[in-house]
Amino acid sequence: MLILKPADIRPSEITSEANYLNRRQFIKAGAMAGGAALSAPASSAIVPAERGAKLDGIGASRFSTDEPANSFEDITTYNNYYEFGTGKGDPAKNAQGFRTRPWTIAVDGHAEKTGPIDFDDFVKPFDLEERIYRMRCVEAWSMVIPWVGISLADVVKHFRPTSKAKYVAFETLLDPVQMPGQRRRVLDWPYREGLTIAEATHPLSILAVGLYGEVLPNQNGAPVRLVVPWKYGFKGIKGIVRMSFVESMPRTSWNMAAPHEYGFYANVNPEVDHPRWSQARERRIGAGVFSSKQPTRMFNGYAEQVAHLYTGLDLRKHY
């Protein structure tokens, strides 16, 4: 697959395409040449408000895949973000004027530290890492995306949930003026998602604030979104304004809309078909419509890391 670099990204602002395709060799060579600072942790996360701004102090992650990343163009023009329209190209078209500052995240529920928090203060205590993850959508397509984010486990621990907190629930901004898709009753707005505490504190889970070394584009969920790479894409709630520590399993948007099709767990499982299509194979976005599909892997290829979270759980019933 040919990996294209979009024309509007200056080479000085991101890691070169060659370095992304040869990530392990690049990190090793950088360390030998005195460039070990590339993988050193940042003192705290700083996320500029300007669209397309470079993110500094990004550390490399041991959790990244070695698979080639999709192009910036693939990742930013083929999106599911129903708040801006149901077409794959609607978010890129309709989210350009979306305002991501000021931005407040409400933290509530069973935790010692709660309250409304300015986005910049919310992310500031944490380190930025680049995580190159395989991402799987329900509709039989996948991408490999170089996210930049903060560890969700670190965030959860920072707010010190109590023993009553069994789940973490998330909500998206409700703003039909800025989000034209919310003017239609496609879903029960605002968008809602949730994870178990064990899932939220797994080291693979992140809150993404960027991709390809830049501030997260609006159509990809700016200023902050959830990324859980072993689950289907609809778990990746975007434009988060609320994080709640709750005792009971929270209601989630697609499970509310079509419970016979979308379960709470949403783990990638090729052995369980969606009622309207098979989940056994997938096609990588950017490979072309005539390219061969590849087998879908259990837990999207992360079974070794996460299967233990579901010991004793019937994954055909709890889908």
User: Any idea what DSSP says for residue 292?
Assistant: P
Task: List the beta strands (DSSP E) in 34-128.
Answer: 59-60, 104-109, 115-118
- 97: in domain: yes
Mean pLDDT of the chain: 88
Give the sign of the dihedral formed by CA 228, CA 232, CA 238, CA 242.
negative
> Can you tell me the distance from the alpha carbon of 253 to that of 147, in angstroms, rounded to the nearest whole number?
24
Q: Is residue 41 very low, low, confident or very high in pLDDT (cuts 50, 70, 90)?
A: very low
| pLDDT tier for residue 245 given thresholds of 50, 70 and 90 | very high
Q: Taking residues 283-291, report their average pLDDT.
A: 84
Residue 25: inside a domain:
yes
Residue 3 lies in a domain: no
When pLDDT is averaged across residues 48-60 and rounded to a whole number, the result is: 96
Q: Per the structure, how many domains does the chain have?
A: 1
Q: Residue 277 falls within a domain, yes or no? A: yes
Q: Is residue 205 part of a domain?
A: yes
Q: Kindly state the tokens that stand for 135.
A: 């991402």
Q: Which domain holds residue 159?
A: 11-310
Q: What is the pLDDT of residues 162-171, one digit of tens each?
A: 999 999 999 9
Look at the pTM and tell me if it is higher than 0.95.
no
Q: Mean pLDDT, to the nearest integer, of 238-264?
A: 97
Residue 222 forms part of a structural domain = yes
Least confident of 28-42, 64-78, 140-154, 246-260: 28-42
Cα 152 to Cα 205: distance, rounded to the nearest angstrom? 6
Range from 67-76, 98-107, 277-286 carrying the lowest mean pLDDT: 277-286
Helix (H) or strand (E) holding 148, with range, is: strand 141-151
Residue 144 bridge partners (DSSP): 134
Q: Is the pLDDT of residue 251 over 60?
A: yes
Per-residue pLDDT band for 43 (boundaries 50, 70, 90) equals low
Residue 190 pLDDT greater than 70, yes or no: yes
**What mean pLDDT comes out for the span 224-252?**
98
Confidence of residue 20 (pLDDT cuts 50, 70, 90): very low
Q: Is residue 214 part of a domain?
A: yes
CATH of the domain at 213: 3.90.420.10
5 domain-assigned: no
What is d(CA 275, CA 152) in angstroms, rounded to the nearest whole number?
Answer: 32
* 173 pLDDT above the threshold of 90: yes
